[in-house]
């Protein structure tokens, strides 16, 4: 069976959910080989990758491969592409993944497709454009297909693979060593889960009214162990940081539960959350388009509804 390389995304030694999604997708295309780059590899990581179908795990965890520096990872993948001639390479369409994909494409003289929401037979990638209104199918016609897939496009399903480990020695160029991390500053946003990985997301929109008012969204999120999201109206107004924007030009989320408070439901917002399992809407306008995709809706003032909801949840 043809080999598909999957670049592992990990943080603090934990394999991120998007990698489990990519392994699931890769199983439908061939035999997945996970590529671990950087420090933090462990037996637990190995077990996780095997659980989701990695037949092989290439491990390059030497000190020269540093977290959050993309050039060494692109060189590692280029080396593996040249040695193994895989049928394709899948990376997560995150900021880091997309940059690695681009660099890898240049190094291997291959085509690259980013922001795919699926990959089918013949490595035909599907992209969703115009806020989900149009789907485009495309295929790389030169070199090794490299596809960056958006997080939450595929539901991760476990199916055991052999998980055979192979250490890889990378011959890094001077260019790959040219940048190094000088400092790491962790964004303090409490102990909230990462937006694209969270099982529950509570998002606020223009209806929240100000940055200070976002504290009521955060309180509800904390009562549920949820991540906080925001509409573009809220991030553009500077009420909440851009990295928490959900939608076409923000993050795609697909949690078990998505609570939207004071968000009208523009197509660009829906594009980033409409595949959520259960959608709960709080909006004072009964005609707001977001009610069309709601499983449960409350027509009411979020400044009354959200604190009451938080209080009830905290009682349990
Ligand atoms: P509004 O549309 O103004 O809605 C506010 C809602 O709050 C209303 O429905 C109102 O009834 C309700 N409300 C007000 N007060 C209260 C209250 N007290 N209690 C309860 N409800 C209340 N948007 C995104 O979100 N993500 C994107 O990634 C994105 N990308 C875009 C890309 C492009 C190219 C373009 C053109 C637009 C994009 N947008 C995106 C913007 C999008 O079109 C909308 O403008 C935006 O989503 C609106 O945000 P909103 O729903 O918070 O605000």
- Min mean pLDDT across 83-87, 218-222, 250-254, 291-295 is at 250-254
Specify the residue for token string 């291997």.
Answer: 108
Q: Is the pLDDT of residue 294 over 60?
A: yes
| pLDDT score of 140 | 97
Task: Say yes or no: CB of residue 203 within 6 Å of ligand 1.
Answer: no
Task: Say yes or no: CB of residue 284 within 6 Å of ligand 1.
Answer: yes
Ligand 1 center from residue 268 Cα (angstroms): 9
Q: Please give the structure tokens belonging to residue 53.
A: 């179908």
- Point out the annotated binding site for FAD: 206, 231-232, 245-249, 262-269, 283
Q: Please give the structure tokens belonging to residue 169.
A: 């020695």
**pLDDT cut 70: percent of the chain above it:** 97
| pLDDT score of 63 | 77
Are 227 and 194 in contact by the 8 Å Cβ rule? The answer is: yes
| pLDDT score of 185 | 77
184 by Cβ neighbours in 10 Å (0-12 / 13-18 / 19+) ranks as: exposed
d(CA 209, CA 234): 8
Q: Please give the structure tokens belonging to residue 80.
A: 């593996």
d(CA 2, CA 85): 9
Q: How confident is the model at residue 131 (pLDDT cuts 50, 70, 90)?
A: low
- Strands (DSSP E) contained in the chain are 3-7, 10-11, 14-15, 31-37, 56-60, 88-92, 112-120, 124-129, 134-138, 146-149, 164-167, 200-204, 227-230, 257-261, 278-283, 296-299
* 302 or 134, greater pLDDT: 302
Q: Could you read off the pLDDT of 238-255 as tens digits, one per residue?
A: 999 999 999 988 998 989
Task: Say yes or no: CB of residue 108 within 6 Å of ligand 1.
Answer: no
Q: Is the pLDDT of residue 32 over 90?
A: yes
Q: Is the pLDDT of residue 37 over 80?
A: yes
| pLDDT score of 132 | 64
Q: Please give the structure tokens belonging to residue 88.
A: 């394709």
Which residues on neighbouring strands pair with residue 299, listed in sequence order?
Answer: 283
Q: Could you read off the pLDDT of 168-201 as tens digits, one per residue?
A: 998 888 888 888 888 877 766 567 998 988 999 9
pTM, full prediction: 0.77
Task: Say yes or no: CB of residue 275 within 6 Å of ligand 1.
Answer: no
């Amino acid at each position: 069976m043809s080999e598909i390389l999957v670049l592992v995304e990990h943080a603090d030694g934990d394999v991120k959910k998007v990698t489990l999604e990519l392994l699931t997708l890769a199983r439908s295309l061939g035999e997945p080989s996970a590529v671990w780059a950087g420090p933090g590899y462990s037996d637990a990581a190995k077990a996780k990758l095997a659980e989701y179908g990695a037949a092989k795990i290439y491990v390059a965890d030497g000190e020269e491969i540093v977290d959050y520096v993309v050039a060494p990872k692109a060189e590692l993948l280029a080396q593996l592409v040249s040695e193994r001639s895989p049928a394709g390479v899948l990376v997560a369409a995150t900021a880091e993944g997309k940059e690695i994909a681009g660099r890898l494409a240049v190094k291997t003289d291959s085509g690259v497709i980013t922001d795919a929401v699926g990959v089918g037979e013949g490595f035909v990638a599907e992209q969703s454009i115009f806020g989900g209104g149009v789907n485009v199918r495309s295929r790389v016609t030169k070199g090794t297909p490299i596809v960056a897939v958006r997080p939450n496009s595929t539901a991760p399903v476990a199916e055991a693979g052999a998980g055979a480990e192979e250490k890889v020695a990378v011959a890094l160029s001077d260019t790959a060593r040219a940048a190094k991390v000088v400092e790491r500053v962790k964004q303090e946003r409490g102990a909230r889960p990462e937006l694209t990985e969270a099982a529950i997301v509570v998002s606020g929109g223009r209806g929240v009214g100000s940055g200070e008012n976002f504290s009521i969204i955060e309180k509800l999120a904390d009562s549920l162990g949820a991540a906080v999201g925001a509409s573009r109206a809220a991030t553009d107004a500077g009420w909440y940081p851009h990295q928490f924007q959900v939608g076409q030009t923000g993050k795609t989320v697909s949690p078990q539960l998505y609570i939207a408070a004071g968000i009208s439901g523009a197509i660009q917002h829906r594009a980033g959350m409409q595949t959520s399992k259960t959608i709960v809407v709080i909006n004072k306008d009964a005609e707001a388009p977001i009610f069309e995709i709601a499983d449960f809706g409350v027509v009411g003032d979020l400044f009354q509804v959200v604190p009451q909801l938080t209080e009830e949840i905290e009682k349990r």
